[in-house]
Structure 1
């Protein structure tokens, strides 16, 4: 009987430790440097990303404009207590490719990023070098990830990589991405963002499945080190023939069509993710053991206390 009680106690202790050590579900949000983030409800976020920091060719950090500095100051004040990152690069950025072409500049930039985090009480760096299209930049990306990982991790800071399965995804090796603590999948812009685009939703649930499958086939196999990207914006097409569409914030779509229900993801040539679809994706990420979800970008939501808020939908799904 004593042996049975001892075994039961150990099993219960093991279960308790496992539960205690399990990380909370991540809800990350991007805050753009060109937006006023004063109205963001940070209470519903666990991780926040200030975007974007750019590089000078010599490896120093490109100075913020006065407007960007004001946005960053607001970000720091309002996001206190959250896990906070600077996000490097962004769509269309050419400063990272130019800087990363030499080892000296890469080393200097990595050191500058570490110091920036320390000086501003940030917890890490998000590498968002998008649309790599050639082997030379793929090689430089891996070299930059390596030195960032070494310097950041030596100071107990985090490194994240944000990637897309389209738009040059084949140039990001699983080996390069494993320098990161986790990767974030940009599962949006799958329609409407190029001239020959077909008509359709740019961020379906199937796109999530396709993105996960793409990275796992490439060798990045741990769901617990993947974050699913969610769009707080949609596209307005000119016709159902497709083509290049206009990007529209979700809050503007709600103002256009206030009568739409939570299940709506399309109306009058406008495609988007409504609350039900956002909740479905979040529930999937939690149920399947993914690290969490991230949002591009949080200022595009309606106020988080409103029924149609996408952030509210995420919060509800994350609590289930």
Structure 2
């Protein structure tokens, strides 16, 4: 075969591959959602972003200042958003995030809520985002949360934009059924059952059993249908010990497998300083993906930049398991 024919065949194969990837995402109801640093997305080498292995990207985090003003110039995100859309990937900025944001209590009050929601709408339309992800957690959830979610949904839905949320069992009693019913879907953060903030409670923070119990609560007791809930997994680990008084530590999955050969085959390992590092290796991630195929509508990842490269990539593993018959 001549050089020109080889080139033509290569180009046709590449085009077909891209079409198949796009069709796979359109045909499959299984979501693969990755959180990605908003700041990193502004300067990302787009060739390194795994758009072909994701259906949604949540940018963490988009927040106003304490007075409610969005002063950040987001124009540097435009190439990232366009590249995602070219790969049929939806992009949503995620608001709030873990930890306390005391000013949200003021923003969600009756006298400030409409302006805050309108600002989110304007940002969504200006930058062609596909919706807003609500990651208001813990003590930031108050008596105005439900009305905020209702208002945000009423404003975004006419523009065919998504409204999603990250939820967790830790603050289940603060989440009203009416608020949860508004979301297109929710990502269940089934991790951080312990962590560096609890050095006296060493152990795994994100087991398969945690995932089973968390899904069971929201599916059974809160009656959330399968198609509206996504199982969240963590691409990181926490280290405890060797003493209860020792400070805990954290490492992302890529660091763990690059530092400790064979770590991908386990869920925990003893580090040189005597700490025990707990995380999810390949076997547990495979089991969680199968669980999500049966009892949820996808996998959510916190966060994509914590993945390992090449053959140790958990994202590659999730895709292989998710889309195999």
Bin for the TM-score computed over the shorter chain: 0.7 to 0.9
Alignment of 1:235-274 (within 5 A): 235-239=238-242, 241=244, 245-260=248-263, 262-268=264-270, 269-274=276-281
Cα distance 1:296–1:276, how it changes in 2: closer, same or farther (>3 A)?
Answer: same
Distance in 2 between residues matched to 1:37 and 1:147, nearest whole Å: 33
The answer to whether the 8 A contact 1:89-1:96 is kept is: no
Alignment of 1:25-174 (within 5 A): 25-35=30-40, 37-38=44-45, 39-56=48-65, 59-60=68-69, 62-64=70-72, 70=76, 72-73=77-78, 75-80=80-85, 81-94=88-101, 97-132=104-139, 137-166=141-170, 168-174=171-177
Alignment of 1:168-207 (within 5 A): 168-207=171-210
Q: TM-score, normalised by structure 1?
A: 0.82
User: What stretches of structure 2 of length at least 5 have no aligned partner?
Assistant: 1-25, 271-275
The answer to whether the 8 A contact 1:173-1:218 is kept is: no
Cα distance 1:155–1:58, how it changes in 2: closer, same or farther (>3 A)?
Answer: farther
* Higher mean C-alpha displacement, 208-217 vs 23-32: 208-217
User: What stretches of structure 1 of length at least 5 have no aligned partner?
Assistant: 1-20
Cα distance 1:78–1:43, how it changes in 2: closer, same or farther (>3 A)?
Answer: same
Distance in 2 between residues matched to 1:244 and 1:147, nearest whole Å: 43
Cα distance 1:109–1:194, how it changes in 2: closer, same or farther (>3 A)?
Answer: same
Shift of 1:213: 2.2
Shift of 1:220: 3.6
Q: TM-score, normalised by structure 2?
A: 0.81
Shift of 1:224: 1.5
Report SS of the residue matched to 2:182: coil
Report SS of the residue matched to 1:278: helix
Query: Which structure has the highest helix share of the two?
Result: 2
2:232 is aligned, of 229, 232, 240, to: 229
Report SS of the residue matched to 1:138: coil
Shift of 1:144: 0.6
Report SS of the residue matched to 1:194: coil
The answer to whether the 8 A contact 1:40-1:298 is kept is: no
2:311 is aligned, of 291, 307, 310, to: 307
Shift of 1:184: 0.8
Distance in 1 between residues matched to 2:172 and 2:80, nearest whole Å: 30
1:284 is aligned, of 291, 296, 310, to: 291
RMSD across aligned positions (CA): 2.3
The answer to whether the 8 A contact 2:132-2:164 is kept is: yes
The answer to whether the 8 A contact 2:203-2:240 is kept is: no
Aligned to 1:318: 322
Total equivalences in the alignment: 288
Cα distance 1:240–1:203, how it changes in 2: closer, same or farther (>3 A)?
Answer: farther
